[in-house]
Amino acid sequence: MTVGHLHEALLYDSDEHFLSVLVPFLIEGVAAGQPTVVSYGPHRAALLRRALPAGSPVEFLDGGRTYAGPAGAIRAYRDLLGGLVAAGATRIRVAGELDPSVFGVRWDWWARYESAVNHAYDEFPLWTMCSYDTRVTPERVLDDIRRTHARIAGEPNATYTPPETFLREPRGAPQDPLRRGTPLLDLLDPSPAGARHAVRDAGLGHLDETDLENLVLSVSEAVTNASKYGVPPVRVRCWAGGHRVLVAVGDAGAGPTDPFVGLLPVVSGEPGGLGLWITFQSCSNVVLSRDGDGFTLWMAAGPPDAVE
């Protein structure tokens, strides 16, 4: 049995280019008796269905649902892969594509996903093909893709950077337009309960109940972590506009040290890791930023497309 994750990117510039790589990739997998799974939006899924031989046992997942958020995608894929291996699979092929809407302010945490899966799926006998349409993919996104995939277009990739390095590189605050306004809240050293109540009040009228409660849960975990493991003062700021809310929870410390924190539930005993993993699955965007003042966790809630 071949173990390990072969993480490959396909950078294509036409439907023909896309199909010329993807169709053989999938057909070879099926022919070898390997579980073969694709996760695409409706347009690419339809292209593939037309191009594949009728009755090909390729499993189609809903790309929008699979890639709702990075930590949830990792959880779903790990469940799927674990099940396939338990059922006897010795090699698995997966192809998928992120919606271009994530190339804006949300790209940072999807770049973290692309890097983290080199580790997170490495226990499985897996070959993934991540396709990106270069006609709609910004150059800064392509740079990250080239650093997070060990192979590109069938060739070993010299610019590949291991996740332990990539994920530790300092990131700045998200370029979220809500930050241009004055924060509705600016709290110093609140208790988790105090922060929850303030954010719940500030978010009312902007978010539906589930999004608001998920954000409140995330803020509670962030303040708990900052208070327990960070360096005071803990500062909580909150902006709201339209149907979106952005919360920043910062402290004067260096932030979590585990590079996979937030993306995987159990990370080397990192304290607070479970709370951050829950936060990653409860918000529409999460950014871990570091600057001269310390560490800040940025959490956005509400429809992410509104800012792209």
Residues that bind other proteins (CB under 8 A): 75, 189-194, 196, 209-210, 213-214, 216-217, 220-221, 224, 227-228, 232, 234, 274-275, 277-278, 281-282
Residue among 225, 119, 234 at smallest CA distance from 165 = 119
CB of 202 to other proteins, least distance (A): 16
**CB of 80 vs other proteins, minimal distance in Å:** 15
SS3 91: coil
- What's at 121, amino acid-wise? Y
Minimum Å gap between C-beta 4 and other proteins is: 26
* Closer residue to other proteins, CB minimum distance, 54 or 86: 86
Q: For other proteins, which is the closer residue by CB, 20 or 224?
A: 224
By C-beta, is 4 or 232 nearer to other proteins?
A: 232
Q: Which is nearer to other proteins, 34 or 281 (CB)?
A: 281
Report DSSP state, residue 124: S
Whole-number minimum distance, CB 260 to other proteins, in Å? 17
Comparing CA positions, the residue from 127, 129, 170 lying closest to residue 35 is 127
Nearer to other proteins, 141 or 207 (CB): 207
Burial class (CB in 10 A: 0-12, 13-18, 19+), 161: middle
Sheet architecture: strand order including 4-12: 59-62, 36-40, 92-96, 125-133, 4-12, 151-152, 155-156
* Least distance to other proteins, CB of residue 281, Å: 6
